Structure 1
């Protein structure tokens, strides 16, 4: 029983760390262009701390084409970006 409780506690601590890491990777920005044909958007964003990049305007691939639904130019978004297969990709998006 002690081993089980130790394992459960370790898993809970790991999950909390993962959630905190995800929150710290979240950035904000404004969508300035949408290219639905190529599943890309241009975002004028704040610093991307997880990628060690300053604030700028740049193009991102969307990890999931469904992220385009309801998205419009001028929209304020919160997102997580990462390098996926060598391309800057938005992996999470909240409008």
Structure 2
């Protein structure tokens, strides 16, 4: 048992970063509506939302996110359903 504890500790350290990034997907800004707080993204599959790759409109969780975006820009983002609306919750 004593030999397994260091093994489990090493495994948890080596896979933790992969899980931290698992909810981010790649996308490209097709259209930006900064005033409306919305963005149209061409995105990869969103496994967390059980959604295939497609182009769709998302609400921005924080209107300030619009300042980080421009049409044609490639990005990584996380999305979730917030109050029934598909919402970009994080950008990088």
Which runs of no fewer than 5 residues in structure 1 stay unpaired? 1-12
Runs of 4+ in structure 1 deviating by more than 6 angstroms, as ranges, are none
CA distance in 2, matches of 1:27, 1:33: 18
RMSD: 1.7
Take 1:40 and 1:22, find their aligned partners in 2: how far apart are those partners? Answer: 26
State TM-score, norm by structure 1: 0.75
Scaled by the length of structure 2, the TM-score of the pair is 0.78
What is the CA distance between 1:82 and its match in structure 2?
0.2
Q: Which has the higher helix share?
A: 1
For 1:52, the equivalent position in structure 2 comes to 50
Length, aligned pairs only: 79
The unaligned stretches of length 5 or more in structure 2 are: 1-11
Structure 2 distance, partners of 1:68, 1:32, is: 13
**Aligned partner of 1:24 among 22, 25, 28:** 22
